[in-house]
Structure 1
């Protein structure tokens, strides 16, 4: 997947609760008060799954084609005890899941609230009359990354037009890198049509137009004109 060109990304998360047979050893929570000793509680094992799928959008608007996928799994080292009647259940889960996802923050960051909400709602729904039980919470995150063949085709066609000349290598290397506080994150890169954002390197042409670094570099290797205003970059 090293040659995959990602033009858009969609994330979805799903939480599933799976009961664990009672014969397995349970952690009995310490009794801190006469009140908490009567609260229903669960021993919970957390398992996180990240599945990344890579899709190619055909230029002729046919159905997208999946060209690969990767799968990562992570489990908590030990079960966690949670009192289901705790009025701060959501906050407790939020703290626990945040710690468990510390190494996968980038993947789960924009899904965190949804995951905690799903988990707390489903845990509350399985409250039973049993004194104790044990469950596994499976949190699955699917990341669909799309390579738009229409964009690639447009770049290929532009490079094949008679008279199209690439910008000089030195002029591309001298393009100004734009820091986060200087860019407008609401603007789109007019090469790939995706948001500029604040996580990707951004370059500015002498005409002041900004683009994703990898997008404008590839563009200028085929054409020495700015994609927006037709400003001419130096050529060899």
Structure 2
């Protein structure tokens, strides 16, 4: 049994019941997001069934964020905003898409709840567990340097060639699929390239685009540079 099946990635997001009283918060239409992240490191190729692999669980990483409400609930900005938060607590890119969707859905639910209609600041707690396999006899805790938000927001730089090559090819099923780069329709049954944010493009279009910018043309999801 693979080690990572014993400790799957997890992401849960919710509105805390014991939230900070409204009068103590900044009077803005915003989210106060508190992220708690744990990292589980397991030895590559080990079988947990015999008890030979004792995982190393890192201390909890905590970081609060304040963002405009629209940045988290709008489809055009939520992916890049949430990805920026996850990167700042060292969540790797390859496990972010599922977590981004969960956080985005929770933010929309909280924002649309009738009990929150008079709140200017909406609190949200995000609990994350990331599992990583490491080689060797020991289980080190690698330090991942998060890219500064200012650089990510500006879109400076281009996507790395390895990240471009790793993009998934998918069969297009919808008749209204359009490549927003060339504005031509992506034909049903043809192959398209899918970004981690699940937006599809013609292969030539998105490869050329990512050689000039590391951001998805639709939602600004950042690819590794």
TM-score (norm 1): 0.42
**Structure with the bigger percentage of strand:** 1
**Which structure: larger Rg?**
1
TM-score (norm 2): 0.43
